[in-house]
């Protein structure tokens, strides 16, 4: 791979800025500064230092964000802060996007990556990747609601949902809900179709990866490659 491409991809700067860094002898390969952007390197085996920082090469980045309410799952937005703006500088790179959406007022696990193929597979309805939510309801949860969800509730507009698992908690207003699809406002519409209303929503798991309980609201952490393999398993 060309060193200017590598530098731009791994640091999130433009190819032109990467070339400028190289000119300023800020890119060191195996102990020697490179002087030209067209030098070829082996990302897996060469030791590369950019602006004094050792680069731990990853072809793709996988990030867990604990989304706060008030942010939108988009790459750009004219009106509201986006989840991408919460990514710290050391995890920024070109091509990152949120794989799947939470509503502006929903909190919790947003998966951000630059791996389009993996995101596409994860989001495909055929993959049936589980999403688990902690749902706070206006009225207490009932057995009828649990049965309706389990049999595949029909939401407004006549759309039938796939069977979903509802788990009671010790607070009658709070349930866990596990769904395997991602219709628009699905959890809120399911609650409404069952005669209730969501007052607070938080996603706590995607596939076999649970939201890190030590990750504060608004913060991110990298998901390591071996953890990513859990994305398609059922429970964390
Ligand atoms: N279902 C909803 O209604 N909202 C979300 O943000 C996620 C799932």
Q: What is the pLDDT along the chain (236 residues), one digit of tens a residue?
A: 999 999 998 888 889 999 999 999 999 999 999 999 999 999 989 999 999 999 988 889 999 999 999 999 999 999 999 999 999 988 988 899 999 999 999 999 999 999 999 999 999 888 999 999 999 999 999 999 999 999 999 998 899 999 999 999 999 999 999 999 999 999 999 999 999 999 999 999 999 999 999 999 999 999 987 889 888 876 65
pTM over 0.85: yes
CA of 201 to the centre of ligand 1 (A): 7
Q: Is residue 99 part of a domain?
A: yes
CA of 37 to the centre of ligand 1 (A): 45
Q: Is residue 155 part of a domain?
A: yes
Q: Is residue 157 part of a domain?
A: yes
Residue 112 pLDDT? 97
CA of 188 to the centre of ligand 1 (A): 6
Residues spanned by the domain of 172: 130-206
Testing ligand 1's pocket by substitution, the residue of 106, 129, 177 carrying the most ligand atoms inside 8 A of its CB is 106
Residue 97 pLDDT? 97
Together in a domain, 85 and 24:
no
The domain total for the chain is 3
Active site residue 103: yes
Identify the residues whose C-beta falls under 6 Å from ligand 1.
102-103, 106, 185-188, 201
Together in a domain, 180 and 72:
no
Ligand 1, closest atom to CA 185? Answer: 3
Residue 126 pLDDT? 87
CA of 106 to the centre of ligand 1 (A): 7
Together in a domain, 150 and 196:
yes
Ligand 1, closest atom to CA 103? Answer: 6
Together in a domain, 109 and 142:
no
Testing ligand 1's pocket by substitution, the residue of 159, 161, 187, 198 carrying the most ligand atoms inside 8 A of its CB is 187
Together in a domain, 107 and 222:
yes
Q: Of these residues, 103, 105, 114, 212, which one is catalytic?
A: 103
- Indicate which CATH number applies to the domain containing 172: 3.30.70.1560
CA of 185 to the centre of ligand 1 (A): 4
Q: Is residue 74 part of a domain?
A: yes
* Closest C-alpha to 182, from 161, 205, 152, 196: 161
Residue 235 pLDDT? 66
Q: Is residue 233 part of a domain?
A: no
């Amino acid at each position: 791979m060309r060193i200017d491409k590598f530098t731009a991809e791994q640091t999130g700067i433009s190819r032109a800025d990467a070339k400028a860094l190289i000119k300023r002898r800020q890119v060191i390969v195996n102990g020697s500064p490179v002087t030209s952007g067209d030098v070829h390197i082996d990302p897996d085996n060469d030791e590369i230092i950019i602006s004094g920082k050792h680069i731990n090469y990853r072809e793709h980045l996988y990030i867990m964000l604990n989304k706060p309410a008030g942010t939108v799952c988009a790459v750009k937005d004219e009106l509201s802060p986006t989840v991408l703006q919460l990514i710290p500088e050391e995890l920024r790179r070109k091509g990152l996007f949120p794989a799947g959406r939470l509503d502006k007022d929903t909190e919790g696990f947003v998966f951000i990556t630059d791996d389009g193929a993996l995101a596409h597979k994860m989001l495909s309805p055929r993959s049936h990747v589980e999403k688990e939510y902690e749902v706070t309801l206006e009225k207490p949860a009932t057995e009828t609601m649990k049965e309706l969800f389990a049999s595949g509730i029909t939401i407004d507009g006549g759309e039938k949902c796939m069977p979903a698992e509802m788990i009671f908690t010790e607070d009658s207003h709070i349930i866990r809900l596990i769904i395997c699809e991602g219709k628009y406002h699905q959890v809120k519409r399911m609650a409404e179709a069952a005669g209730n209303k969501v007052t607070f929503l938080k996603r706590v798991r995607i596939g076999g990866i649970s939201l890190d309980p030590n990750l504060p609201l608004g913060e991110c952490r990298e998901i390591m490659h071996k953890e990513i393999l859990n994305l398609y398993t059922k429970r964390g």
